[in-house]
């Protein structure tokens, strides 16, 4: 992360503590998973169940989705509460979404399909749920790369445009979950609902802003006349 000395100096102790707490919370699921894997390797734990590979994949994917939703929740929360400080946590949450998504993808490649490389290629091309999952991860890459302060400055107005990709990523991620379930859609439906709420809020705000602008545009000439 590139930080100018000025931003560094501005960092208040309260924010530093809060950020440390968020890092700790965000790393906890991974720590638990690693601990359980270690226990499984030692033969002292059965916490990952009969099919640890499936459990590891599923849990990493679920946390990627959760962090994606948390990232998307920042703006609506900020607008509802007026706590502008929330925006300072958005980048790290987004990067955790990317980190868990990458581990999820790595587990699929390295633990699940290890050795069956031809099947990986077929899966990505032929299996819609894997295709959309792969595209979602792929689209996260440029967002993670351009998350630094340097890139934000370099891209200017285009940075915000580029990062609108996250809306599409959220849709693809939910679809990826939806399509892999056999018949009980309750869990993916929960995330679909959350995503719909978070994206719907933005759509509503955008419509409101447009209506407001139109009203303003109408009122200006009438005032002149």
- In the complex, the residues that contact other proteins under the rule CB under 8 A are 37, 40-44, 46, 48-54, 111-116, 119, 122-123, 126-130, 179-180, 182-184, 186
How far is the C-alpha of 93 from the C-alpha of 70, rounded, in Å? 7
Q: At what angle do helices 128-145 and 90-107 cross, to 10 degrees?
A: 140
How far is the C-alpha of 35 from the C-alpha of 38, rounded, in Å? 5
Phi and psi angles of residue 75, each rounded to the nearest 5 degrees, phi first: -60, -50
**Smallest separation, CB 65 to other proteins (Å):** 17
**Smallest separation, CB 140 to other proteins (Å):** 23
**Smallest separation, CB 112 to other proteins (Å):** 7
**Smallest separation, CB 190 to other proteins (Å):** 14
How far is the C-alpha of 132 from the C-alpha of 146, rounded, in Å? 22
The dihedral region occupied by 181, where left means phi > 0, alpha psi between -120 and 50, and beta the remainder, is: beta
Nearer to other proteins, 128 or 212 (CB): 128
Nearer to other proteins, 129 or 201 (CB): 129
Nearer to other proteins, 38 or 83 (CB): 38
């Amino acid at each position: 992360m590139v930080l100018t000395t000025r931003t560094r100096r501005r960092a208040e102790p309260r924010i530093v503590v809060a950020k440390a707490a968020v890092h700790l919370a965000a790393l906890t699921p991974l720590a638990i998973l690693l601990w359980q894997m270690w226990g499984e390797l030692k033969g002292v734990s059965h916490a990952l169940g009969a099919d640890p590979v499936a459990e590891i994949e599923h849990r990493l994917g679920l946390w990627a989705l959760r962090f994606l939703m948390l990232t998307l929740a920042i703006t609506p929360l900020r607008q509802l509460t007026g706590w502008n400080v929330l925006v300072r946590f958005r980048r790290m949450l987004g990067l955790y979404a990317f980190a868990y998504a990458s581990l999820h993808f790595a587990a699929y490649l390295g633990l699940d399909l290890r050795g069956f490389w031809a099947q990986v290629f077929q899966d990505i091309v032929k299996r819609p749920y894997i295709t959309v999952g792969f595209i979602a991860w792929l689209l996260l890459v440029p967002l993670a790369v351009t998350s630094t302060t340097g890139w934000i400055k370099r891209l200017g107005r285009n940075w915000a445009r580029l990062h609108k990709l996250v809306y599409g990523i959220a849709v693809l991620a939910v679809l990826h979950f939806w399509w892999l379930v056999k018949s009980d859609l309750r869990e993916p439906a929960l995330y679909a609902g959350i995503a719909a709420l978070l994206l719907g809020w933005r759509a509503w705000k955008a419509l409101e802003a447009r209506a407001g602008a139109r009203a303003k545009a109408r009122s200006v000439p009438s005032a002149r006349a």
